[in-house]
């Protein structure tokens, strides 16, 4: 879609400087942008590459100057740029209409405007809300419910009864509602503990490719509104995650963990079962939280077992100095062994 700089400024509620008629049809990085691509600048250090870009239109904070470009002044240029991208380049449809090869149970309920790609399978009693797009090879199990405006990329599995709220995005290969990993050991055998609970993904959650979210065993697994999970993340049974939490790739969350809102996880972090991560905590990449531990609100933790970042840094610094400490101990031992005499001579 091509707009003018003026239209874009109106949409973003920005002031504009320069040519209002300049056409803008996409977004790009400064180095690869064409004349009609929008770029953005966040700080003075980015001005040079913006100046040398072919882009005619730039989102820029107040107070920075950039000659020869049409400027859109925004308080948060990156956000304005992201909103412009969504407006100019709306996500391509995942499916259009109901593909004739889709296998849809007669008892499934599809609201208006639902699109279903080739070879998708929608089982008995499933409910799908208006405007939702279901990609090729998606499997929507019995009585699963999906809200409005969701986007399921090709090859997503919803086990029976899984619930998605509105505007949920699931990437290819994601599995929602698989059985949790729970067994009762007896007589040298492991018996399956019932995995009959629920799984609910709230509004505006995005879940990455090949990420797996187990259903509850008896309770519910829940991902709070606005939370974002990267690729290859594992969320076990009965986990509760609050709103607006972000979890980077390959992090693993064990059973019955409770995570608050606005928590941030680096990649490959691991949480033992029954941990509690309070609101706003930050969990470093590869950190390991022991079962049952609590990370307090706002804490930043690192390492395995995880400890406060400052403590980790101090310990790590001393670890690096261990060879030196050992030498100093040796020197002291020599000093002591040689008696006060040596000391006396030196003094």
| Residues designated as active site | 237
Residues 149 and 170: their CA atoms lie apart, in Å, by 12
Q: Which region among 52-60, 63-71, 106-114, 313-321 touches a second copy (by CB under 8 A)?
A: 313-321
* One residue of 34, 97, 113, 194 binding a second copy per CB under 8 A: 194
Which residue lies nearer to a second copy by CB, 20 or 51? 51
Residues 12 and 134: their CA atoms lie apart, in Å, by 30
To a second copy, the closest distance from the beta carbon of 206 in angstroms equals 7
Per CB under 8 A, 86 contacts a second copy: yes
The contact mask relative to a second copy for 34-53 (x = CB under 8 A, - = no) is --------------------
Which residue lies nearer to a second copy by CB, 23 or 26? 26
Per CB under 8 A, 155 contacts a second copy: yes
From residue 119, alpha-carbon distances to 41, 100, 125 in Å are: 44, 8, 18
Per CB under 8 A, 326 contacts a second copy: yes
Per CB under 8 A, 18 contacts a second copy: no
* One residue of 2, 15, 107, 314 binding a second copy per CB under 8 A: 314
Which residue lies nearer to a second copy by CB, 18 or 288? 288
To a second copy, the closest distance from the beta carbon of 109 in angstroms equals 19
Q: Which region among 43-51, 52-60, 178-186, 293-301 touches a second copy (by CB under 8 A)?
A: 178-186
Q: Which region among 9-17, 25-33, 57-65, 106-114 touches a second copy (by CB under 8 A)?
A: 25-33
Per CB under 8 A, 322 contacts a second copy: yes
Q: Which region among 52-60, 260-268, 274-282, 292-300 touches a second copy (by CB under 8 A)?
A: 260-268
């Amino acid at each position: 879609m091509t707009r003018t700089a003026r239209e874009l400024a109106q949409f973003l509620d920005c002031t504009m400087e320069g040519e209002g008629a300049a056409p803008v049809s996409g977004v790009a990085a400064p180095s690869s942008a064409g004349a009609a691509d929008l770029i953005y600048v966040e700080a003075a250090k980015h001005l040079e590459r913006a100046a040398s870009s072919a882009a005619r239109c730039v989102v820029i904070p107040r107070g920075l100057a950039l000659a020869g470009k049409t400027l859109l002044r925004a308080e948060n240029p990156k956000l304005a740029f992201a909103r412009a991208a969504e407006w100019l380049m709306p996500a391509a449809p995942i499916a259009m209409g109901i593909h004739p090869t889709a296998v849809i149970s007669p008892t499934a309920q599809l609201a208006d405007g639902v699109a279903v790609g080739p070879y998708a399978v929608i089982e008995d009693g499933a409910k799908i809300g208006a405007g939702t797009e279901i990609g090729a090879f998606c499997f929507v199990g019995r009585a699963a419910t999906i809200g409005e405006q969701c986007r399921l990329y090709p090859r997503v599995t919803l086990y029976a009864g899984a619930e998605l709220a509105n505007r949920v995005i699931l990437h290819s290969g994601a599995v929602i509602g698989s059985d949790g990993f729970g067994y009762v050991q007896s007589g040298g055998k492991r018996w399956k503990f019932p995995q009959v609970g629920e799984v609910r993904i709230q509004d505006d959650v995005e879940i990455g490719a090949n990420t797996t979210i187990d259903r509850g065993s008896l309770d519910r697994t829940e991902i709070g509104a606005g939370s974002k999970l990267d690729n290859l993340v594992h969320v076990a049974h009965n986990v509760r995650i609050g709103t607006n939490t972000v979890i980077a790739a390959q992090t693993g969350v064990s059973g019955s963990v409770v995570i608050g809102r606005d928590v941030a996880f680096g990649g490959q972090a691991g949480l033992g079962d029954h941990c509690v991560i309070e609101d706003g905590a930050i969990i470093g990449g590869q950190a390991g939280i022991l079962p049952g531990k609590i990370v307090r609100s706002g804490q930043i933790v690192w390492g395995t077992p995880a400890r406060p970042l400052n403590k980790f840094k101090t310990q790590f610094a001393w670890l690096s100095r261990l060879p030196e400490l050992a030498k100093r101990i040796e020197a002291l031992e020599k000093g002591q062994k040689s008696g006060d005499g040596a000391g006396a001579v030196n003094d």
